[in-house]
Amino acid sequence: MKGRTFVNQIDFAMVYQVEVLNPEAHALLESLVRLRLIRLHQHNPSGAGFWDLLEDLRSQGAESDLTEEDILQEVETARTLRYERAPQSHH
């Protein structure tokens, strides 16, 4: 039928971030996976920002390729920002 949308064909999913505190909870999650009620995706938050940044840089279609110096400068900037946000310990 013309003019009909495909909204009813989209699989809407809710995404949760879960911190597993007890190994038994992990077993329960695996059981739900086997029953095809949920899907689990491992997430590495420490490296995620880097890959997102890299993808953003690639998608911008820079006129020239990044140099090693450009990459090192970006890494240094990220480290500086992370250091500034880190709680300072007083020893």
pLDDT per position as a tens digit, 26-59: 899 999 999 999 888 776 666 667 777 778 777 7
pLDDT bucket at 89, cuts 50 / 70 / 90: low
Domain-by-domain residue ranges, the chain?
A: 45-85
Show Cβ contacts of residue 41 under 8 Å, excluding neighbours closer than 6 positions.
Answer: none
- In a 13 Å sphere around the CA of 16, the CA atoms on its Cβ side amount to 7
Q: What is the mean pLDDT of residues 63-91?
A: 80
Q: Answer yes or no: are the C-beta atoms of 65 and 58 closer than 8 Å.
A: no
pLDDT of residue 31: 94
Encoded tokens for 12: 């809407």
88: left (phi over 0), alpha (psi -120 to 50) or beta: beta
